C-alpha cells in the first residue's frame, strides 16, 4: 500500500503544526516567508495533494455538479454536456453524469444519490411527470436548473429552446412548400417539449386555415422503429398525409426508410421534417430538413446561469428562464418551392 500524505505528515516532518502547514499552503499573510517556502518544498518533495473530500466536508462545497439526462450517447445530450463541462471546468467544477433512460424512478434515485453526495448544483433534462423530487432539491437549497426538458416551477431557472416556435416553423415550412395534409409524430405529450412542438404544429395549421385532424397525430418514442410503424399506420388512412412533421430526427429517419421501401417519392409525394439536427440528417442520401436546437450553446448557457446563481451573494433569489430560438434547416426531404395552389 502506498501512503497518501496529509498536512499532518508535513507538519511532523517540520516540527510545526498542521494549522501552520494549512496556512502556508494557502498563502496566509501571517506565516513567514521562510516557513512558507519550507512547507511548499516539503509538500512538493512528499508529493502531497490536498484531499478535496476533507475540504468539501468542512466547507460544504463539493465542487461537483450533477447532470441528469435520459441518455448520454446521443449527439444532442452529448453536446449539451460538452458545453456544460467546458464552461464549468475553468471554475474548478466537475460534472457527474447520470442517465435515466427516460425512467422516472431512476431519475428520482439519481437525484437522491446526487443530493447525498452533496453536489453544488443539479442540471436536469427531466422525464418526470411529478415535481415532488425537485421540491426536495429546493428544500435542501441546492441550485436546480432545467435544460431542454423542463418543468414549470417557481424560483427555478431553465434553459430551453422555444419548442412551440420550432414546431410552428417546421409546420409553416411544410405549408409554404405546398403541403396541406400534415401529419405529426408527437412523442410523449406529458413532456413539455413534445407538447410545445405539438401546440406549435396546431397553431401553424390554424393560422393557415388548415383543419387539425386528430388521426394525423401519432405518438412515437424517438427511434427508427417507431417512425416506421407510424408511417404504416398513416398510409392506411383513407386520406393519407402529404407531409410529416416529426418531433424527432430518429422517427423521421424511420419514416423515410419506410416510405422509400414502399416507393414513395420524397419530398414529392410526401415531405418529411425532423427535429434536433442530429449529424446523420445532414449526410443522408436524402438529407433531412430539421430544426436546430444549438445544444452546445444550451449547455454553456445552463452553466452560466448556474454560476450567476451561486455568485449571487446568496441574497436575492434568481429565477432566469432562458429560451433559445430554434432554427429551421431546409434540406432535401422537404420541398423548397412555393405552394402549387
Partner DNA sequence: TTATTTTTGGTAATCGATTACATAAAACGA
Partner DNA sequence: TCGTTTTATGTAATCGATTACCAAAAATAA
**Site residues, DNA (CB under 7 A):** 4, 6-8, 15-20, 22-23, 25-26, 28, 30-32, 34-35, 48-51, 53-55, 57-60
Cβ contacts of residue 315 below 8 Å, gap of 6+? none
Interface with a copy of itself includes 94 (CB under 8 A)? Answer: yes
Where b means 16+ CB within 10 Å and e means fewer, 107-144 reads bbebbeebbeeebbbbbbbbbbeeeebbeebeeeebbb
Report the residue number, 135 or 215, with the smaller CB distance to a copy of itself: 135
Report the residue number, 53 or 132, with the smaller CB distance to DNA: 53
Q: Which span (30-38, 68-76, 226-234, 268-276) binds a copy of itself, by CB under 8 A?
A: 68-76
Least distance (Å) between residue 116 CB and a copy of itself:
5
Residue with cell 445544444: 295
Interface with a copy of itself includes 158 (CB under 8 A)? Answer: no
Interface with a copy of itself includes 140 (CB under 8 A)? Answer: yes
Report the residue number, 60 or 90, with the smaller CB distance to DNA: 60
The grid coordinates of residue 11 equal 507538519
Q: Which span (1-9, 153-161, 169-177, 263-271) binds a copy of itself, by CB under 8 A?
A: 1-9
Q: How far apart are CA 38 and CA 59, in angstroms?
A: 27
Report the residue number, 16 or 318, with the smaller CB distance to DNA: 16
The grid coordinates of residue 164 equal 412551440
Q: How far apart are CA 173 and CA 271, in angstroms?
A: 10
Q: Which does 25 bind (CB under 5 to 8 A by kind): a copy of itself, DNA, none?
A: DNA
Report the residue number, 39 or 288, with the smaller CB distance to a copy of itself: 288
Q: How far apart are CA 236 and CA 114, in angstroms?
A: 48
The pattern of x and - marking residues 294 through 323 that bind a copy of itself according to CB under 8 A reads --x---------------------------
Element (H, E) at 252: helix 249-261
Residue 20: Cβ within 10 Å count: 19
Interface with a copy of itself includes 71 (CB under 8 A)? Answer: yes
Least distance (Å) between residue 284 CB and a copy of itself:
5
Interface with a copy of itself includes 17 (CB under 8 A)? Answer: no
**According to CB under 8 A, which one of 95, 179, 272, 329 is a site residue for a copy of itself?**
95
Cβ contacts of residue 6 below 8 Å, gap of 6+? 18, 48, 51
Interface with a copy of itself includes 99 (CB under 8 A)? Answer: yes
Q: To the nearest 10°, report the CA torsion of 68, 166, 296, 111.
A: -10
Going by C-alpha positions, the residue among 157, 64, 58, 151 that lies closest to residue 115 is 64
Q: How far apart are CA 297 and CA 322, in angstroms?
A: 11
**According to CB under 8 A, which one of 28, 32, 37, 72 is a site residue for a copy of itself?**
72
Query: Which residues in this chain contact a copy of itself in the complex, by CB under 8 A?
Result: 1-2, 4, 47, 49-54, 56-57, 62-64, 71-75, 78-79, 81-82, 85-86, 89, 92, 94-99, 112-118, 136, 139-141, 253, 278-280, 282-286, 296
Amino acid at each position: 500500500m502506498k501512503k497518501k500524505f496529509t498536512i499532518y505528515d508535513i507538519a511532523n516532518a517540520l516540527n510545526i503544526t498542521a494549522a501552520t502547514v494549512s496556512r502556508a499552503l494557502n498563502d496566509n499573510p501571517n506565516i513567514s516567508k521562510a516557513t512558507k517556502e519550507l512547507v511548499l518544498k516539503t509538500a512538493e518533495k512528499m508529493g502531497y495533494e490536498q484531499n478535496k473530500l476533507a475540504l468539501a466536508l468542512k466547507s460544504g462545497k463539493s465542487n461537483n455538479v450533477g447532470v441528469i439526462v435520459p441518455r448520454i450517447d446521443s449527439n444532442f445530450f452529448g453536446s449539451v454536456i460538452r458545453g456544460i463541462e467546458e464552461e464549468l471546468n475553468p471554475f474548478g467544477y466537475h460534472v457527474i453524469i447520470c442517465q435515466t433512460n427516460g425512467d422516472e424512478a431512476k431519475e428520482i434515485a439519481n437525484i437522491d444519490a446526487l443530493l447525498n453526495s452533496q453536489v453544488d448544483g443539479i442540471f436536469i433534462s427531466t422525464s418526470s411527470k411529478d415535481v415532488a423530487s425537485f421540491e426536495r432539491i429546493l428544500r435542501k437549497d441546492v441550485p436546480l436548473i432545467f435544460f431542454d426538458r423542463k418543468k414549470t416551477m417557481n424560483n427555478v431557472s431553465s434553459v430551453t429552446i422555444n419548442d412551440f416556435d420550432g414546431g410552428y416553423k417546421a409546420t409553416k415550412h411544410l405549408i409554404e412548400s405546398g403541403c396541406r395534409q400534415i401529419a405529426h409524430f408527437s412523442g410523449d405529450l406529458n413532456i413539455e417539449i413534445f407538447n410545445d412542438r405539438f401546440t406549435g404544429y396546431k397553431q401553424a395549421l390554424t393560422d393557415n386555415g388548415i383543419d387539425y385532424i386528430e388521426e394525423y397525430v401519432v405518438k412515437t418514442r424517438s427511434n427508427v422503429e417507431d417512425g416506421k410503424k407510424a408511417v404504416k399506420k398513416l398510409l392506411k388512412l383513407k386520406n393519407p398525409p402529404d407531409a410529416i412533421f416529426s418531433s424527432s430526427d430518429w422517427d423521421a429517419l424511420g419514416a423515410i426508410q419506410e416510405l422509400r421501401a414502399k416507393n414513395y417519392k420524397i419530398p414529392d409525394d410526401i415531405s418529411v421534417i425532423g427535429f434536433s439536427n442530429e449529424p446523420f440528417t445532414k449526410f443522408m442520401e436524402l438529407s433531412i430538413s430539421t430544426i436546430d436546437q444549438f445544444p452546445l450553446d444550451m449547455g454553456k448557457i445552463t452553466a452560466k446561469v448556474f454560476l450567476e446563481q451561486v455568485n449571487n451573494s446568496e441574497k436575492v433569489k434568481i429565477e432566469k428562464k432562458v429560451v433559445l430560438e430554434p432554427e429551421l434547416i431546409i434540406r432535401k426531404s422537404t420541398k423548397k418551392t412555393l405552394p402549387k395552389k
